[in-house]
């Protein structure tokens, strides 16, 4: 469990820089009443076990990958976290990839969460940055609440956001699709701010969507006044990609062109940093 419960929010800012990721000093910052209380700048040589667990036992949404702890799939180098998908059979799945969670390590309640991310492109690839309620193992999903800060299903010009909770899960009505100013394969900042009254999503510092508590409660219970934990994962195929690309073969949600792409070599999602701030 985190040693403190921090307010969190992901501030999204489009830094249309295709070159090397910006380096940050990692010191607490103050901006418009916000104070940075935690970050992982990924400046080490491996995933920090004080912040993250590497998940391998997640098989949901008819996804086509097996998550592993191998550095071939999850690594830290050059100042970034790298989640890499490969065409590699494991445990009956045609692909391997990586997933890290801060559950039981760093959990946060209300505030700003932000991350700087560069995505791979290939229809059916499904990298995501999101949060789940820390009570998932007692209340289950979707009662625990799910906050999708950024998802992409392999298209180079848009990302999506969503909320899932009791009465509004699956094809949730609380969602949005947004187009960053430059391709998603370049560095962008994706973020969210939460409070008891509303959730705001940001891309490169620009607010792109707001969902108020009143709006959410028209569909079901508000599930976000609790600690949540962060997830970065890189799925391949599955229900959401298939719902967009309609591909059933050669793999569910993965068209032939993307299978060929992965056969040529791995594809990687990179995270430059993730930061948590609270309002003071």
Active-site positions read: 146, 151
CB 114 within 8 A of CB 10: yes
Rg of the chain taking only CA atoms, in angstroms: 17
CB 66 within 8 A of CB 58: no
State phi, psi for 220 to the nearest 5 degrees. Answer: 175, -170
Tell me how far apart the alpha carbons of residues 152 and 130 are, in angstroms, rounded to a whole number.
12
């Amino acid at each position: 469990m985190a040693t403190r419960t921090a307010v969190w929010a992901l501030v999204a800012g489009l830094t249309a820089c295709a070159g090397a990721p910006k380096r940050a000093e990692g010191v607490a910052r103050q901006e418009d009443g916000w104070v940075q209380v935690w970050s992982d700048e990924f400046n080490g040589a491996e995933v920090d076990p004080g912040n993250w667990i590497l998940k391998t036992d997640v098989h949901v949404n008819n996804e086509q990958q097996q998550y592993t702890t191998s550095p071939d799939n999850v690594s830290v180098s050059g100042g970034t976290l790298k989640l890499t998908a490969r065409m590699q059979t494991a445990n009956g799945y045609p692909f391997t990839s990586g997933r890290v969670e801060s559950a039981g390590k760093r959990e946060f309640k209300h505030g700003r969460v932000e991350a700087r991310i560069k995505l791979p492109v290939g229809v059916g690839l499904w990298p995501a940055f999101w949060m789940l309620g820390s009570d998932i193992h007692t209340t289950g999903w979707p009662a625990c609440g799910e906050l999708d800060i950024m998802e992409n299903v392999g298209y180079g010009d848009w990302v999506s956001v969503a909320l899932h909770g009791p009465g509004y899960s699956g094809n949730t009505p609380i969602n949005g699709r947004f187009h960053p100013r430059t391709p998603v394969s370049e560095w962008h900042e994706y973020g969210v701010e939460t409070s008891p009254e509303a959730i705001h999503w940001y891309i490169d510092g620009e607010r792109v969507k707001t969902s108020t508590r009143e709006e959410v409660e028209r569909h079901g219970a508000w599930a976000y006044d609790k600690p949540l934990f962060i997830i970065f994962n890189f799925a391949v195929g599955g229900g959401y990609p298939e719902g967009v690309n309609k591909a059933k073969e050669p793999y569910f949600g993965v068209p032939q062109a993307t299978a060929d792409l992965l056969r040529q070599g791995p594809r990687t999602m990179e995270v430059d940093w993730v930061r948590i701030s609270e309002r003071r």
